[in-house]
């Protein structure tokens, strides 16, 4: 790694392989956001921008930052990773920063897209701001899970007691 930290080496390799990399630094010069996209995936999302899934994996890295994956879909129902983003926080400003990078990735193709996400209010607000002409849908799993949790609360948590 030639004296580089793991993150520095990853960024070095990404630029060597012509990945598109966006970074944002905090007031102290530390990394606060990172968005990375593969050049082949950028071509794919521009060809097939119709369905885009943005999903989050929590607390899977040393810094415990959320990892956002942007997944595209081909006409033959095959998924591909378009980009990923690590962000220190989950506020609308950070989401807007990441989505502006995605807008650059999409080019003009985004006007034909549907973006599918979970029910994160900050992400929803950022989508309305950055992609006002794009249709935003919620994943059915999240909707069903929220309904199930609400019913369980209304019933005094009895569903879990019966299991």
How far apart CA 54 and CA 118 sit, in angstroms, is 8
pLDDT at 147: 67
91-126: pLDDT as tens digits: 889 999 999 999 998 887 777 788 888 777 888 899
Query: Kind of pairing, strands 51-57 and 67-73?
Result: antiparallel
Evaluate whether residue 1 is within a structural domain.
no
If you average pLDDT over residues 131-147, what whole number do you get?
73
Number of separate domains in the chain: 1
Residue with tokens 């990404």: 14
Radius of gyration of the chain (CA): 18
Evaluate whether residue 68 is within a structural domain.
yes
For residue 162, pLDDT beyond 60: no
Evaluate whether residue 79 is within a structural domain.
yes
Evaluate whether residue 39 is within a structural domain.
yes
Domain with 113 in it: 6-162
């Amino acid at each position: 790694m030639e004296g580089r930290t793991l993150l520095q080496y990853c960024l070095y390799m990404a630029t060597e392989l012509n990945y598109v990399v966006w970074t944002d630094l905090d007031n102290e010069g530390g990394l606060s956001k990172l968005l990375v996209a593969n050049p082949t995936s950028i071509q794919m999302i521009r060809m097939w921008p119709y369905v885009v899934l943005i999903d989050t994996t929590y607390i899977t890295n040393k810094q415990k930052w959320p990892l956002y994956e942007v997944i595209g879909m081909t006409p033959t129902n095959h998924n591909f990773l378009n980009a990923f983003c690590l962000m220190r926080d989950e506020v609308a400003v950070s989401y807007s920063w990441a989505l502006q990078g995605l807008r650059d990735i999409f080019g003009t193709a985004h006007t034909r897209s549907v973006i599918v996400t979970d029910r994160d209010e900050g992400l929803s607000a950022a989508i309305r701001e950055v992609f006002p002409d794009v249709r935003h849908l919620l994943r059915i799993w999240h909707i069903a899970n929220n309904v199930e949790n609400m019913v369980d609360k209304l019933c005094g948590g009895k569903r879990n007691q019966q299991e």
